[in-house]
Amino acid sequence: MSHGWETTVLTSVEQTLDVLANLCGKRWLCRGQSERYRNLNPSIDRDKLKNFSRIKKLQLERQSIELFRSTARFFASPGEQGALSDDIITLMVLRHYGVPTRLLDWSTSPYVAAYFAVCDDNQKNGEIWSFDEPLYEQEGCKQWKRWPETTRNGTGDPHKFDAKLTAFALNEPPDWICCGFYPLGFPRQNAQAGAYTLTARFGRDHADAIANLFPRRLSYHKYTLSAALKVKLLKLLHERFGIWHGSLYPDSAGAADMASIVFPRRTE
């Protein structure tokens, strides 16, 4: 359960559009979820994986990275080439293709986040989490001074921060959270205006980590979207902003997923 996040309930389309425009103007990062999970736990910390030890999760993480590289090296697109040599970039790519990782994906577009908040579970309220990314650029740097072992040569210089120095350590690492971008990107990330949060520790609710980072509660906020708005907002995002499944998954896998909707959904 996250602490310290003030919540606003959005009950009309007009109110929602005003909020999205405001978030866009402030350059806050946003994340949409189609139901109220009340936390920001990454996929490697959910369900059956939740109680695995750090050592076990590191082993699974490493295996997934190497398996991806051994196959993708034959056909990786230019934007995915970085994943063949950099572990953090590999996790970014894996996150977008549904592999459990310790990363959470965000968007620089509140409208993209709104899509993910309304695209599923029409009987449940959705939610949009948001935080002040420009302020993170200031506050996040203080972590590296606090834990100089997170920087090259142990200087504590924010410009020399390297997540890989402690993120993959066997022993419990410092309790940092970082926000990152992959400028070169790849089709799904670019279409979704993607960004990521990453923690060195597993089992770390990113909502709590973000709240602990900022000195003021006004720097982060959660919005609950009424289930009654989902269908109308989904249509509006498509018609007015060009945001829909096809635009956010601009690859063959995404197109095939769209093609599958003509068939009845299989029930287990």
Count of other CB atoms within 10 angstroms of residue 20: 23
Residue 268: predicted pLDDT: 47
Task: Give the model's pLDDT for residue 79.
Answer: 87
Structure tokens at 111: 């409208």
> Which structural domain range is residue 132 located in?
7-259
Tokens of 250: 């601009």
| Residue 31, token pair as written in the block | 């994340």
- CA-to-CA distance for 105 and 191, rounded, in angstroms? 13
Contacts of 45 (CB under 8 A, 6+ apart): 102, 202, 203, 204
Looking at the domain assignment, is residue 166 inside a domain?
yes
Q: What is the mean pLDDT of each run of 10 residues along the chain (268 residues)?
A: 83 97 97 93 96 98 97 89 93 94 97 97 96 96 96 94 96 96 91 96 97 93 97 97 95 89 74
Residue 98 belongs to a domain:
yes
Measured between alpha carbons, how far is 207 from 61 in angstroms, rounded to an integer? 22
In a domain? residue 2? no
Residue 170 counted as domain residue = yes
Residue 219 lies in a domain: yes
- DSSP code string of 123-150: TS-EEEEEE-HHHHHHHTHHHHHH-GGG
Q: What's the domain count of the chain? A: 1
In a domain, 233, yes or no: yes
